[in-house]
Amino acid sequence: AENGIVYCVDKDTGDLVWNYSTGGKINSAISGDDRGIYFVSQDGYLYALHPLTKEVLFKKLVGKNVKATPVILGDYVYLLNTSGQFRALNRENKGHQDWYFNLNEDTVTTPAISGDLAIIAGIHGKVACIDLKTGKAKWTRNLPSGFDASPVVTDRYVFIGDKTSTLYMLSLEDGTISWQKKFDKGFHTDFCLYKDYLFTTGEDFSVRAFSSQPPPYLKVEPTTLDFGEVDVNSKMTLSFRITNTGGGTLTGTIEPSLFWIKVYPREFTGNDVIVKVTVDTEGFDPEKKYQGKVIVKSNGGNQDVLIVLKTKGLPPKLSVTPKLLDFGTINAGGKKNMALFIKNLGGGELNGTLSTDVKWVELSSLNFKGNDVKIMVTINAETLKAGESYKGHIYIESNGGDETVELNVKVVEANPEITVDTINLNFGEIEKGSSETRVFTISNKGGGTLEGTLKTSAPWIILSQTTFSGNSIRITVRIDSSNLERGKYYTGTIKISSNGGSKVIDVYVKIKEEKIVLKLKIGSKIMYVNDTPLEMDVSPIIREGRTLLPIRYIAEPLGAEVGWDGTEKKVTVSLDDIFIELWIGRSTARVNGVEKPIDPNNPKVKPIIVPPGRTMLPV
């Protein structure tokens, strides 16, 4: 009431059950269910009262600009204020706001709800469909004029009238205009839906009743008929369905776009029609795509149905070459192969299997798939007798026909074929004068008897035999190093010639360097060179903690050259690429031109001369 009091009366008797005062005017109409009574007061609060006891369940500040009636659905109370803000308040959580949507346009209407969707409308013509689960707009659209009357909705359509007296029927799905009508006078109050009718009141005090049944609306499924691959000169039939998702009765015509497309029926009246489409590929080219369409025209809209197909290719056709595989002769125990070529001279893809009626034939594959296939055919003569001729067959079965290939082969005694168990003999490093041996084997992996000769490229390679006859021969190779120089590397070859081919074996050997061992003793003039005594005219001595030796007696047995420069009192020692210079009484030496201390830890260590004029050098 305007006095700010909410009254609850018994619906049967009209007796007062309870009343509740907010202390101010009530801004909105009251809505409620068996869980609560909801309204907005002038103090800006949403009140939630228990319907039987008027107990305040919760009180939520929502602002003084809420004029629209609260809408109750499930656990939520939905409020729309005059600024276009639409809120979802959880009544199980004391009116907690779970989300809000801003229309960005003032409004004076109450939201309309259908299922999980709400419709709100603004004073300048903006209409929005809100998903109540997310608070997001499913769609929005702007109409030419604003709205004072609240919208009403069905499960498929929105009905709303604007300030310029135009009544709209919008699709709830996407907001498109399904129907509209302009009247002379505008709408005075909110709309009402009852059964199949929409009721409105006009500013001319008239009451209008509209049938809420929507116009027919064409739906075609599917909109593409893909016939896939179709044989040439054949027919195939598929169907599509026409249904009316609107109201009334759907009527229309069905026309094919091309002569090879036939449809039945060509005309229809009804809300659920099956249309059969037949394609006729008489005279079509193979392996080619064809496309057309069926045009459906109706009082509920038009729709094209795309027709696509591809004609099948020619059937596969088997071709096998050669038809005769003549292997000629083959050695007993040996193998021989030839190629068999399988091709498809038709269309599609060729596939099939191969088999043979003999055990001595091996096939690289027993099945094939493709239009150009190579099969290797091998004759295995392990079990075949020499001197005999053999015949057999290969049978090819496929989706493009069958073929038989004939096989001919004659088995002969195999020729000898030489093989050796090594291609090189490496004797490594050996002592001069020693006699080292190695063994290799010559074998016959062919037929008959292997015969031949062996020849060496160097006299130091000694063979146990130079001729052979048989199928497994062991040859011993000895190195005669008596005339070979120490420290050198020698290579040679053994050439084997036979009636089964030839082979070459490489031979490698190195003669070890001679070792020279010198033995000297402090105070003794006897020196041993490789255990042979040699008398010196001086003996080794020790000076400054270092052993001094007569340089000439040491260097010359090792192959070094010793020189003396009396003017500089300089001794030179050269061996291979090493050149050493030493001076009597000097603590440094020069090695290949680089000055170095003789003893880095004792500068008193120097070369000296002792009677009878021998130069003594520190070790």
Do 308 and 330 lie in a common domain? no
What is the per-residue pLDDT for 549? Answer: 84
3-state secondary structure 177-192: EEEEEECCCCECCCCE
List, in order, residues 6 or more apart from 481 with CB less than 8 Å away: 430, 431, 432, 433, 434, 435, 436, 460, 509, 511
CATH number of the domain enclosing 345: 2.60.40.10
Q: How far apart are CA 593 and CA 209, in angstroms?
A: 126
What is the per-residue pLDDT for 1? Answer: 64
Q: How far apart are CA 199 and CA 152, in angstroms?
A: 10
- The DSSP line for 356-388 is ES-TTEEES-SEEESSEEEEEEEEE-TTPPTT-
What is the per-residue pLDDT for 434? Answer: 82
Q: How far apart are CA 33 and CA 64, in angstroms?
A: 24
3-state helix, strand, coil in the chain (%, to 5): 0, 55, 40
Max Cα distance, the chain (Å): 159
What is the per-residue pLDDT for 606? Answer: 86
Do 67 and 181 lie in a common domain? yes
Torsion angle (degrees, nearest 10) of CA 538, 540, 543, 547? 150
CATH number of the domain enclosing 606: 3.30.457.10
Residue where a domain stops, chosen among 180, 211, 242: 211
Q: How far apart are CA 182 and CA 188, in angstroms?
A: 15
463 neighbors 440 (Cβ within 8 angstroms): no
Token pair, residue 602, equals 């004792």
What is the per-residue pLDDT for 212? Answer: 55
What is the per-residue pLDDT for 207? Answer: 82
Do 277 and 330 lie in a common domain? no
Do 95 and 155 lie in a common domain? yes
Q: How far apart are CA 95 and CA 185, in angstroms?
A: 41
What is the per-residue pLDDT for 193? Answer: 83
CATH number of the domain enclosing 140: 2.130.10.10
pLDDT digits (tens, 9 = 90+) for 78-127: 999 999 999 999 999 999 999 999 999 999 999 999 999 999 999 999 99
Do 387 and 444 lie in a common domain? no
Closest CA to 231 of 348, 401, 369, 344: 348
Do 328 and 286 lie in a common domain? no
Q: How far apart are CA 520 and CA 18, in angstroms?
A: 137
Helix (H) or strand (E) holding 256: strand 251-256
Domain range for 532: 518-618
Do 386 and 439 lie in a common domain? no
Q: How far apart are CA 450 and CA 469, in angstroms?
A: 6
Do 175 and 77 lie in a common domain? yes
What is the per-residue pLDDT for 548? Answer: 84
Do 142 and 66 lie in a common domain? yes
Residues of the chain with pLDDT below 70 are: 1, 188, 212-214, 619
Q: Work out the end-to-end distance of the chain between its first and last CA atoms, rounded to an integer number of angstroms.
A: 130
DSSP-derived 3-state class of residue 92? helix
Structural domains counted in the chain? 5
Helix (H) or strand (E) holding 551: helix 551-555
**CA distance to 425, 492, 542, per residue, from 420 (Å):** 12, 17, 64
Do 376 and 434 lie in a common domain? no
Residue where a domain stops, chosen among 511, 541, 573: 511
365 neighbors 375 (Cβ within 8 angstroms): yes
Residue where a domain stops, chosen among 264, 285, 312: 312
Helix (H) or strand (E) holding 355: strand 351-356
Token pair, residue 81, equals 């204020």
122 neighbors 84 (Cβ within 8 angstroms): yes
Question: Is-cis flag, bond preceding 533, omega within 30?
Answer: no
Q: How far apart are CA 618 and CA 606, in angstroms?
A: 7
Q: How far apart are CA 116 and CA 114, in angstroms?
A: 6
Do 380 and 461 lie in a common domain? no
DSSP-derived 3-state class of residue 454? strand
Do 405 and 429 lie in a common domain? no
